[in-house]
Chains A and B, each alone.
Chain A
Amino acid sequence: MNDINSFLSRLNSTINFSTILPEIILIVGLITIVITDLVNKGKNAIFLYKIFLISTLVSMGILFYQLISVIAFEDLYTNNIFNNLFRFFILICSFISVLLSVDYVLCSKISLAEFPLFKISAGLGGMILSCATNLITIYVSLEFLALSSCFLSGYTKRDIRSNEASMKFLLMSGASSSSLLYGFSLLYGFSDGQVQLDNIIDKISFSQYLPIICISAAFILAGTAFKLSLFPFHQWTPDVYEGSPTRVVAFFSVTSKVAALSLFTRLFRLIFPYLSNEWHIVVELLAISSMILGNLIAVTQRSFKRMLAYSSISQIGYVMIGILAADLENGYASMLTYTFIYIFMNLGTFARITPFSLRTGTNNIRDYAGLYMKDPVLTFSLVLCLLSLGGIPPLSGFFGKHYLFWHGWKAGLYISVTVALVTSVISIYYYLKIIKLMLTKTTNLVDTLKTYEKQKSLVSSVISTKLKSSVEMAMILCALASTLSGLFMDPIIKITRNTFF
C-alpha cells in the first residue's frame, strides 16, 4: 500500500494530466459506450451516439481552453499550437462524421454498437498521433488509427466490396507501417538508444551517418506517404473508398489524412533538417505526380466515390506544397488553413452523397442527372461544396488555394505551383461536369431518379425527424463553413501563423 501511495504521488508530480484531458474524456466516452451497450443488450443505439457527441463536444471545449496555454507534458507530448490545432481538426472531423452516421442506426439491420466505438478509437488515435513526440507513441497511435479505420471499412460484412476494401487496407497498411518501423529502428539504433525525437537529433551525428539517415528518411517517407496516399503509394485509395460504406469513407478520408499530415510534418521537420534539400525535392516530385495523376484519372471516373478518392489524392498534393513552403514568418499557416477548409469541403460532399445513396442505392455519377428537380436543397449544397473543392472565387476553397499557391510561389516552388494551377483547372472540369448534370433538366429521367420520390417518402417515415435533421444539420454546417470560411480567412491565418518549430 505504501508503494502505491508513493507511486501515485510521484506520478502526479511528474505527469500533468490536464494536458491529455481531451483524450481522457474520449477514452471515458469509449468505455461508457461499451458498457452501455452491454447493459442495454443492443437496444437504444441512439443513446450511444449521444454519448459520442457529448464526449467529443466536451473534449473540444477543453481543447479550446488549452489552446490558450502551451504546456509541455513530460517527454511524451508537447502542446504547442501546431499540435493543438491538429487535435482540434480531428475532433471536428469526428463530430461531423458522427452527425452523418446517426441515421445508420435505423436504416440497416446490422448491429451498430461497435460503429461509434471504432469511430471514437480512430479519433483518439488521430489525436494522440498529432501530439506524439516519441517514436513509440507515434507507432502505437498510428496503428490504433489504422486498425480502427480498417475495422470501420469492413463494417458492412455482407457486402463483398466492403470485405475487399478492408482486406486491401489491412494488408497495405501493415506493409507500410512495417517500412515506417524499419526507418524508426535505424534512427533508434544510430542515436544510441534514444526514442524521443528531440534527443535523437541531439545524439545522432549527421556528418558521420549520412547514408543511414538517407535510408531511414526513405523508409519513413514510404510509410507516411501511404497514409497520405501520395503518388506511388496511392493504389489502395480508390478501391478502399469505393468499397467501404459512405459514412466511413467520409470519416477516414479526413481523419487519417489530417493525422498523417501532422505526423509527416513533424517527423520531417524535426529529424531531417539537414537533409531538407534532398527531401524537399523528393516530396515535390511526389506532390506533382499525385496532383497530375489524381486529377487526370478523376476525369474518367464513373462512380462518385472513386472520383472523390482521386480528387482527395490531388488535394493532398496541393497540401504538400504548403508543407514545403513553410518558413519562419508564416509557419505552416497555408497548410493548416487549407486543411481546415478541406475538412469541411470533403465532409460536406460526403454528407450529400450519403442520403442520395441511401435513397437510390447507387453511386454512379450519371444517376445524379436532373437532381435539381427532385431535391433542390441537396443539389445546391452539393453545388457549393463541389465548387469550393474546385476553387471557384467567392467560396473558401478559392481563398485556401490562393493562399497556398501564393505562399508556395513566394518560397520558390515555381514548378509545383504551375502544375497545381493547371491541375486545378482540370479539376474544375470534372466538378462542373457533375454540377451540369445535376442542374440540367432531362426529358427522360434516369430510372433511379424516377423512384427517388417514392423512396424518399418511405425512408422518411422510418427515420424520425430528429435523425433526418442531424444529417441535414451536418450538411448545412459544412455548406456554411465551405462558403463563409473564405471571409474569415484573416483570423484563421493569424492563428495558424506561429506554428513553425
Chain B
Amino acid sequence: MNLSELIHEFILALIEPGILVGSIGTVSFINTANSAFSLGLVFTCISLLYFALNADFIAAAQLLVYVGAINVLIVFAVMITDQSVSSDSEKRGIGYFTALGACSILFLTIVCIFHKINDFYSSSIHQSEYLKLNLFEQNDVQNIGYQLLNKFLVPFELASLLLLVALVGAINPARDEDEGKDIAENKKNRLFLQLHLVISPHFSK
C-alpha cells in the first residue's frame, strides 16, 4: 500500500470506532440525554465517513439535516420531557437470548459475504476500472441537481408533497381544539410547533 491508501485507512480506522462507540452508547445509556448525545456522535462520524469517501454533498447534507435538525429535535424532545431515571436492567429472559442469537447469525453472515466480495474486488482489474472513472474531478452538486430535475423528477416532486402531508399530519394530532382555551396561547403554541417543523424539513430538501 502506498502512502495515500495508508492515510485513508488510518482515517477510516479513526472514524469507525467513533460510530461503534456512539451506537453502543445510544442503546445502553440509562440516562436518555446521554443517549441522545451519543446519537449525535454517530451522525457526525457518519458525516466524516462521507467526507473520507469523497461525497462532499452528502456529507454536508448529513451534517445539516441529521446533526443540525434531527438530533437537535431529539435532544430538545428528551430534555423537555420530565422523566425519572429508569430502573436497572431486568432479568434477561429467553427473548433476549433468541434475539442475540439471531442478530449474531445475521452479523456473521454479512461479515462473511463482505469478506468474499472484498477478495473479489481487491484484484487489480477492478482497481484500474475504478481509476478510469475519474471520480475526483466531477462537480458533485451540479450533477446531483441535474439528475434530480431530469431523471428523478417524479420522486423529487413526490418527496416535496410527502413533506407537506407529513407536516399536516404531524400538526393534526398535536394541535389543540378546545374552544375555551386562550386563543392567543393556542396561536403561539401552533406557530412555535409549525416553525420548528418547517425549519427541519427545509434543510432536508
- Do A147 and B165 touch (CB < 8 A)? yes
The answer to whether A144 and B113 touch (CB under 8 A), given A134-B155, A136-B152, A137-B155, is no
The 8 Å CB contact of A111, one of B153, B158, B164, B177, is B177
Chain B residues near A75 (CB, 8 Å)?
Answer: 151
By a CB distance below 8 angstroms, the chain B residues around A136 are 152, 155
B173 touches A117 (CB 8 A): no
| Chain A residues, CB < 8 A from B79 | none
- The winner among B113, B155, B159 for most chain A CB atoms within 10 A is B155
Across the interface, which residues of B come within 8 angstroms of A139, CB to CB? 155
- Are A212 and B113 in contact, with the CB atoms below 8 A? yes
Tell me, yes or no, whether B83 is within 8 Å of chain A by CB.
Answer: no
Complex Cα gap A27–B164 (Å): 12
Contact partners of A125 in chain B: CB under 8 A? 158
What B residues does A128 contact at CB under 8 A?
154, 158
For the complex, give the distance between the alpha carbons of A144 and B166 in Å.
9
- Tell me the bound Cα distance from A67 to B149 in angstroms: 28
For A164, list chain B residues within 8 Å (CB). none
CB of A211 within 8 Å of the partner chain? yes
A114 pairs with B168, CB closer than 8 A: yes
CB of B162 closer than 8 Å to a CB of A: yes
B100-136: which have CB < 8 Å to A? 109, 113
A154 touches B173 (CB 8 A): yes
> Closest CB-CB distance, A144 to chain B, in whole Å?
5
Interface size class of B (residues with CB under 8 A): 20 to 34
Is the CB–CB distance between B169 and A148 below 8 Å?
yes
A134 to B172, CA, bound (A): 32
Which single residue of chain A is at the shortest CB-CB distance from B106? A215
Is there a chain A Cβ closer than 8 Å to B53's Cβ? no
Known: A15-B153, A75-B151. A140 touches B165 (CB 8 A): no
Q: What 0/1 readout, one digit per residue, does chain A (111-148) give for beta carbons within 8 Å of chain B?
A: 10010011001001100100010101101110110011
Query: With contacts defined as CB atoms under 8 Å apart, how many contacts are there between chain A and chain B in the complex?
Result: 76
* Assembled-state Cα–Cα distance A118/B168 (Å): 9
How far, in whole Å, are A388 and B89 apart by their CA atoms in the complex? 53
Chain A's closest residue to B109 (CB) is A215
Known contacts A114-B172, A211-B113; A137 and B154 CB within 8 A of each other: yes
For B151, what are the chain A residues with a Cβ–Cβ distance below 8 Å? 74-76
* Contact of A140 with B153 in the complex, beta carbons under 8 Å: no
In the bound complex, what is the Cα–Cα distance between A24 and B123 (angstroms)? Answer: 49
Instruction: Verify A121–B161 contact, CB threshold 8 A.
Output: yes
Once the chains are docked, how many angstroms separate the CA of A355 from the CA of B154? 39
How far does the alpha carbon of A184 sit from the alpha carbon of B149 in the complex, in Å? 22
**A132 to B164, alpha carbons, bound, how many Å?**
21
Q: How far is the CB of B53 from chain A (nearest CB, A)?
A: 14
In the bound assembly, the distance between CA atoms of A429 and B124 in angstroms comes to 67
User: In the complex, A124 Cα to B172 Cα: how many Å?
Assistant: 20
> Does B150 sit within 8 A of A, measured CB to CB?
yes
How many A residues have CB within 8 A of the partner chain?
41
Give the CA-CA distance A48 to B154 in the complex, in Å: 26
Nearest CB in chain B: distance from A435 CB, A: 38
Question: A78 to B80, alpha carbons, bound, how many Å?
Answer: 49
With both beta carbons as reference points, the residue of chain A lying nearest to B153 in the complex is identified as A15
Distance A330 CA – B169 CA, assembled complex (angstroms): 42
Q: Is the CB of B169 within 8 A of A118?
A: yes
Q: B154 near A20 (CB under 8 angstroms)?
A: yes
- Minimum distance in angstroms from B147 CB to a CB of chain A: 10
Given contacts A111-B177, A118-B165, A136-B152, contact A144 B158 (CB under 8 A): yes
**Which chain A positions have C-beta within 8 A of B165?**
117-118, 121, 144, 147-148, 151
For residue A40, CB closer than 8 A to chain B, the reply is no
Of A76, A132, A144, the contact of B161 (CB 8 Å cutoff): A144
Residues B144-189 near A (CB distance < 8 A): 149-155, 158-159, 161-162, 164-166, 168-169, 172-173, 177
Which residues of A are found within 8 Å of B153, using beta-carbon distances? Answer: 15, 76
Contact of A157 with B by CB under 8 A: yes
Which of chain A's residues has its CB closest to B164's CB? A34
Q: Give, as a whole number of angstroms, the nearest-CB distance from A193 to chain B.
A: 10
- B154/A151 in contact, CB under 8 A: no
Bound Cα distance from A137 to B159, whole angstroms = 9
* Contact (Cβ within 8 A) B169 A151: yes
Q: Find the B residue at minimum CB distance from A163.
A: B173
Given A110-B177, A137-B155, A211-B113, A151 and B172 touching (CB < 8 A)? Answer: yes
Given contacts A121-B161, A157-B173, contact A147 B166 (CB under 8 A): yes
B109, B150, B153, B162 — which one has the most chain A CB atoms within 10 A of its CB? Answer: B162
In the complex, the answer to whether B168 meets A140 with C-beta atoms within 8 Å is no
Is there contact, CB below 8 Å, between B169 and A147? yes
Contacts of A230 in B (CB 8 A): none
For window 10-43 of A, CB contacts with B under 8 Å fall at 10-11, 14-15, 20, 27, 30, 34
Which residue of chain B has its CB nearest to the CB of A121? B165
Contact yes or no, B161 A124, CB < 8 A: yes
A59 to B: closest C-beta gap in Å: 16
Q: Which A residues have a C-beta under 8 Å from some C-beta of B?
A: 7, 10-11, 14-15, 20, 27, 30, 34, 74-77, 110-111, 114, 117-118, 121, 124-125, 128, 132, 134, 136-137, 139-141, 143-144, 147-148, 150-151, 154-155, 157, 211-212, 215
Which 9 pairs from chain A and chain B are nearest by CB? A151-B169, A140-B155, A157-B173, A121-B165, A137-B155, A136-B155, A76-B154, A144-B162, A140-B158
What are 5 sample pairs from A and B whose C-beta atoms fall under 8 A apart? A20-B154, A34-B164, A141-B158, A147-B169, A151-B169
